[in-house]
Structure 1
Amino acid sequence: MTQTKFAKLKNPWTGEKPAPRAITMINPDDLEICTDPLPQGRAMPEGKYSAKFAALQYGQCLKCPPGAAPKIATALKKWLETHKKPGSVRSALRYGEDGMGRVWLLAPEPKALKRAA
């Protein structure tokens, strides 16, 4: 989010000056030297949906609340990329009579054979 800079440091709508930001100074006595090893991997190597995505087969879908379908679809696409699995993802905000969202894992399309000239 960008912050608007006002002319002459006054808000043109209210005429007030912006409140100064509080500066916190770090006390050197609060710092501590330790020999903790550097982590080998990410702090959270697996996502919260990884177990569901691993169990999902081609042609199956995940049933979710209607507002969550796009976020889950994006997470599934990223999971497919990181695990180097082929496939595509489709989603629907509201599917059928129940009004719940759906996210499908579709099998990769077969590549067309090239014809010899």
Structure 2
Amino acid sequence: MPNNLISIEVSIDNFQSLVIDKSHDQLVILDISAQWCSPCRALEPILNEVVAAYNKDELLFAKLEAEDENMKIAGRFSVRGFPTVIAFIRGVEVDRFHSVKTHEFLHEFINRNKGKF
């Protein structure tokens, strides 16, 4: 039974330890979004439902609010629009998508990237 995976909030201050470093142990899925973004608000419940189907040892789900200093992370990864969801393995980006997607697309995205680990 899945462990109801819960997202962790990341910022510029803890990004290295919570995303890059953790991605050496497991797949990290990072949702970069903005409060004012309608597609971000539409994707959030879908993404939360999908990642809840996975165990904590299968992946880490992280969220970054793209505001203030956190925008430096969005710039570092050449984010051009919100939401952007990035998969990290062993400290590097291995996959990404933009905009709202279906449950099926999200499961395929996660499973495809779990297979790369």
- Shared fold, TM over 0.5: no
- TM-score, reference length from structure 2: 0.25
Larger gyration radius, structure 1 or structure 2? 1
> Between Structure 1 and Structure 2, which shows a larger proportion of strand residues?
2
TM-score, structure 1 normalization: 0.25
Pick 1 or 2: higher relative contact order, CA cutoff 8 A, min separation 6: 2
Task: Judging by fraction of residues, say which structure has more helix.
Answer: 2
